[in-house]
């Protein structure tokens, strides 16, 4: 508490006590709050800088169809919204295609290698990450072994933290293969 004087008529001073949380006290609280917020922001930035910018996930699946069928489905990117969840649309262009997710993200893909046994793509997202997708196709009996490796690089330190929280490349590759297996069966692969 601090003392504050008020001059009353007749030269009498009347003292009253003012609570500590006056304007000066409020300013102190705001300053401490701002310092705490700045410290949290710097700690988040530091944590993001320590995290590796690149992550990789690999999954493989024995699919119930011949390699030609699997390759045909992989090459038919325009049909992917019909069998992959979360894909709203695919716009095919002369140098690749753009996937638009149901959340509004646009991911641009550009083929680098397309052969009977390997597909390699480069991609870049409007959410600030980029990377490669590699599919290795191997005939195995009456089926096809498909090994998918996704490598994603997130340059932003804050984006690295968010990607750790919301994106697992291995889980994403596994979910892709789950959907692909159903589509291979639908298009005539063995069950």
Q: In terms of domains, do 126 and 178 share one?
A: yes
pLDDT score of 13 more than 70: no
Which has the closest alpha carbon to 97: 74, 71, 63? 74
Q: What's the CATH code of the domain at 130?
A: 3.30.530.20
How does pLDDT run across 26-82, given as a tens digit for each residue?
A: 777 778 888 788 777 776 666 666 788 899 999 999 999 999 999 999 999 999 999
Q: In terms of domains, do 35 and 96 share one?
A: no
Q: 147 by DSSP, 3-state: which?
A: strand
Residue 100 is given by DSSP the state: E
Q: In terms of domains, do 101 and 71 share one?
A: yes
Mean pLDDT of 111-123: 95
Chain Cα centroid distance, residue 146? 24
The pLDDT of residue 10 is: 59
Domain total for the chain? 2
> Is 11 inside any structural domain?
yes
Range of the domain at 22: 2-45
Lowest mean pLDDT among 3-17, 125-139, 167-181: 3-17
According to DSSP, the residues that pair with 90 across neighbouring strands are 99
Chain Cα centroid distance, residue 184? 27
Q: In terms of domains, do 72 and 135 share one?
A: yes
Q: In terms of domains, do 107 and 177 share one?
A: yes
Most confidently predicted of 20-24, 150-154, 187-191: 150-154
Q: In terms of domains, do 124 and 167 share one?
A: yes
Q: Measure the CA dihedral 3/7/10/16, to 10°.
A: -30
> Is 191 inside any structural domain?
no
The pLDDT of residue 1 is: 47
Angle among Cα 140, 141, 144 to the nearest 5 degrees reads: 40
The pLDDT of residue 190 is: 62
């Amino acid at each position: 508490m601090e003392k504050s004087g008020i001059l009353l008529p007749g030269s009498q001073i009347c003292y009253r006590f003012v609570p500590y949380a006056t304007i000066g006290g409020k300013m102190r609280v705001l300053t401490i709050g701002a310092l705490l917020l700045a410290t949290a922001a710097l700690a988040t930035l530091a944590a993001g800088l320590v995290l590796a910018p690149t992550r990789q996930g690999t999954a493989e699946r024995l699919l119930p169809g011949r390699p030609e069928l699997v390759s045909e489905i992989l090459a038919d990117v325009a049909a992917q919204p019909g069998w992959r969840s979360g894909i709203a649309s695919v716009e095919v262009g002369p140098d690749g295609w753009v996937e638009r997710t149901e959340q509004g993200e646009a991911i641009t893909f550009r083929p680098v290698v397309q052969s009977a046994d390997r597909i390699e793509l480069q991609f870049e997202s409007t959410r600030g990450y980029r990377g490669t997708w590699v599919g290795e196709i191997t005939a195995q009996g009456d089926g096809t072994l498909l090994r998918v490796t996704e490598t994603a690089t997130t340059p932003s330190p804050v984006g690295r933290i968010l990607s750790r929280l919301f994106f697992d490349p291995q889980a994403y590759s596994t979910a892709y293969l789950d959907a692909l297996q159903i589509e291979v069966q639908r298009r005539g692969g063995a069950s």
